[in-house]
C-alpha cells in the first residue's frame, strides 16, 4: 500500500472496454464553498460554489491546486486553526460535519503545489490524512457497435432476452423479488430520464459536475465521449432489479472527468437519501487507494449500505481501487458463456465475484440499445442482485446480503475470483430460507 505522503495524482477510469428524472432542490450536502484569504479574486480561488457558475475548474486545475484534508477534531483542532497555520482557503466545506474539507493555498505569492501542501498537512498531528484531490478521467470510451447519432445495433428484445438474463436466471428470480422498495445509487455520467427502459424508475438525484438538479446523460462543455455510460449502467441495474428505484448521481462530466472529493460527497448523499446499494463502475489504474474514498465507504458500510464496484479491465491481478477495499463487493466480468473470466477482466484473491460483462446489451441515451463490454457492465448486475435480496422479507442487513451473494455462486472455470459467478436465484433461495 502506498502511504498518503507518496500519493501521486490518481487517474480513475470508467471500467468499460471498447470493442469495435429531475430534482427541484439540492441534497443535504450540495456543494458550497467558503471563500477565505486576503488575496484578490485574480490570485486565489475565492468561489461561491466549487462547481457553480462563479468558478468551474478543469480536472487539471483541481488536481494541481486542491487538497482533501481530514482534521482530528478529538483534540480540539478545527479548520480555522489550520487555515491560519498554513494560509489555506476552503474550496468546499460540504463534508465539514465529518471534519473533511477541500482546501487550497491562499498564499498570494503562489503557495505550494497540491502534493507539497498535502505532504505538509499530512505531517501535522492535527490532521488524520491529506491528499491531492485526484482527478477522475475516462480512459476507455466507445460502444462496440454504436457511435453517437448512428442507428442502434440492438433492440429492446435484445436487451430483455440477452444471454445474461438466462445465465443469471432473472426471469425465475423475479417471481420472488423485483427489488421493490430498494434504492440503488448509480454514480456515473448521469442517466437519460427519457429512456423507456428507465421510465418511472428514477428518483431525484444531483449533478455534482454543474451543481444543479439536471442529472441527464448528455454532452457538455467538456465534451461527449463518455456520454451513455451512466444510462447503460443504470439500465443493467433495472434489468436485474426491475422493481428497484435508481438514484442518478452525476459525478463525471461528458468527457468522463471528475474528482474523488465529489465522489465522496455523492456517496454520502446517497446514504442520506436512503440508498441501500451504491454502484461504482470506475476505479484507478494507478493502483492507489484514496483515503477520503476509503473513509466514506467505511461510513456508508456502517450505515448499512452495500458498495459494489467494478474490478477493472487491465487483465491482471494488481489490486484496483475502490474495488479492492475490504468493505467493497468487487466484481469481475465473466465471458459470453458465463463460465470463465472475460480476457480483459482483472482477477485475483481480492476480487469477490464475477457477473456477465462481455457483449452485454443495455440502454443508451435517445431511446435505443447498444452492446458494450467491461467490468462496468458486470458490477450493476450484481448491484441489482443485491437489491433483490434487500427486498426480501425480514429486511436483511448489508452484511447478510453480501455474504449471501458470495456464498451462492456458480463455479468459475479457471478461477480468478474469491468465489465464483453470481447466481441470484440461489441467493434468493437462501434469503427466503428454502
Active site residues: 188, 229, 376
How open is the CA angle 31-52-232, to the nearest 5 degrees? 80
| Look-up of cell digits 475516462 | 138
Q: What is the DSSP letter of 230?
A: H
Q: In whole angstroms, give the CA distance from residue 429 to residue 175.
A: 12
Which residues partner with 100 through β-bridges? 70
Question: What phi and psi, each to the nearest 5 degrees, are found at residue 3?
Answer: -75, 165
Q: Which of 141, 291, 126, 324 is nearest to 229 (CA)?
A: 141
Residue 299 near residue 332 (C-beta atoms within 8 A)? no
**Which of 72, 78, 74, 67 is CA-nearest to residue 120?**
67
What is the Cα–Cα distance from 271 to 287, expressed in whole angstroms?
A: 26
Question: Residue 417 phi/psi, 5° resolution?
Answer: -135, 165
Rg (CA), the chain: 21
Residue 354 is classified by DSSP as E
C-alpha neighbours within 13 Å on the C-beta side of residue 13: 19
Q: What angle is formed at CA 425 by the lines to CA 424 and CA 429, rounded to 5 degrees?
A: 115
**Dihedral through CA 425, CA 319, CA 186, CA 334, nearest 10?**
-40
What is the C-alpha to C-alpha distance for residues 247 and 268, in angstroms, rounded to an integer?
13
Asked if residue 386 lies in contact with residue 401, where contact means CB atoms within 8 angstroms, the answer is yes
Evaluate whether 89 touches 114 at the Cβ level (below 8 Å).
no
Phi, psi of 369 (to 5 degrees): -135, 150
Pull the grid cell for residue 223.
465534451
Could you tell me the sign of the dihedral formed by the alpha carbons of 147, 153, 158, 160, in that order?
positive
Amino acid at each position: 500500500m502506498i502511504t498518503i505522503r507518496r500519493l501521486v495524482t490518481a487517474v480513475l477510469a470508467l471500467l468499460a472496454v471498447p470493442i469495435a428524472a429531475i430534482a427541484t432542490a439540492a441534497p443535504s450536502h450540495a456543494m458550497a464553498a467558503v471563500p477565505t484569504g486576503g488575496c484578490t479574486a485574480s490570485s486565489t480561488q475565492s468561489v461561491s460554489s466549487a462547481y457553480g457558475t462563479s468558478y468551474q475548474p478543469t480536472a487539471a486545475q483541481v488536481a494541481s491546486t486542491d487538497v482533501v484534508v481530514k482534521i482530528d477534531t478529538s483534540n480540539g483542532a478545527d479548520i480555522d486553526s489550520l487555515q491560519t497555520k498554513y494560509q489555506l482557503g476552503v474550496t468546499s466545506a460540504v463534508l465539514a460535519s465529518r471534519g473533511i474539507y477541500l482546501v487550497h493555498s491562499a498564499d498570494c505569492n503562489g503557495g505550494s503545489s497540491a502534493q507539497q501542501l498535502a505532504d505538509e498537512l499530512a505531517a501535522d498531528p492535527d490532521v488524520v490524512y491529506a491528499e491531492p484531490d485526484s482527478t477522475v478521467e475516462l480512459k476507455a470510451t466507445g460502444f462496440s457497435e454504436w457511435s453517437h447519432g448512428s442507428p442502434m445495433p440492438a433492440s429492446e428484445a435484445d436487451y430483455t432476452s440477452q444471454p445474461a438474463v438466462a445465465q443469471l436466471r432473472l426471469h425465475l428470480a423475479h417471481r420472488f423479488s423485483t427489488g421493490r422498495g430498494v434504492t440503488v445509487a448509480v454514480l456515473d455520467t448521469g442517466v437519460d430520464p427519457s429512456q423507456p427502459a428507465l421510465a418511472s424508475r428514477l428518483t431525484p438525484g444531483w449533478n455534482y459536475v454543474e451543481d444543479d438538479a439536471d442529472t441527464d446523460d448528455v454532452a457538455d462543455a467538456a465534451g461527449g465521449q463518455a456520454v451513455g455510460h451512466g444510462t447503460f449502467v443504470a439500465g443493467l441495474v433495472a434489468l436485474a432489479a426491475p422493481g428497484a428505484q435508481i438514484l442518478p448521481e452525476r459525478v463525471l462530466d461528458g468527457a468522463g472527468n471528475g474528482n474523488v472529493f465529489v465522489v465522496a460527497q455523492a456517496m454520502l448523499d446517497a446514504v442520506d437519501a436512503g440508498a441501500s446499494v451504491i454502484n461504482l463502475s470506475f476505479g484507478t489504474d494507478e493502483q492507489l487507494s484514496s483515503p477520503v474514498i476509503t473513509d466514506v465507504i467505511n461510513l456508508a458500510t456502517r450505515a448499512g449500505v452495500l458498495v459494489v464496484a467494478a474490478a477493472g479491465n487491465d487483465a491482471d491481478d494488481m489490486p484496483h481501487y475502490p474495488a479492492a477495499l475490504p468493505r467493497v463487493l468487487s466484481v469481475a466480468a465473466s465471458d459470453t458463456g458465463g463460465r470463465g473470466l472475460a480476457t480483459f477482466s482483472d482477477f485475483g484473491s481480492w476480487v469477490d465475484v464475477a457477473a456477465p460483462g462481455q457483449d452485454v446489451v443495455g440502454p443508451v441515451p435517445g431511446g435505443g440499445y447498444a452492446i458494450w463490454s467491461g467490468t462496468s457492465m458486470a458490477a450493476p448486475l450484481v448491484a441489482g442482485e443485491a437489491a433483490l435480496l434487500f427486498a426480501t422479507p425480514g429486511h436483511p442487513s448489508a452484511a447478510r446480503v453480501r455474504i449471501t451473494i458470495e456464498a451462492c455462486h456458480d463455479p468459475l472455470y479457471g478461477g480468478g475470483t474469491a468465489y465464483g459467478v453470481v447466481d441470484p436465484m440461489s441467493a434468493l433461495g437462501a434469503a427466503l430460507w428454502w
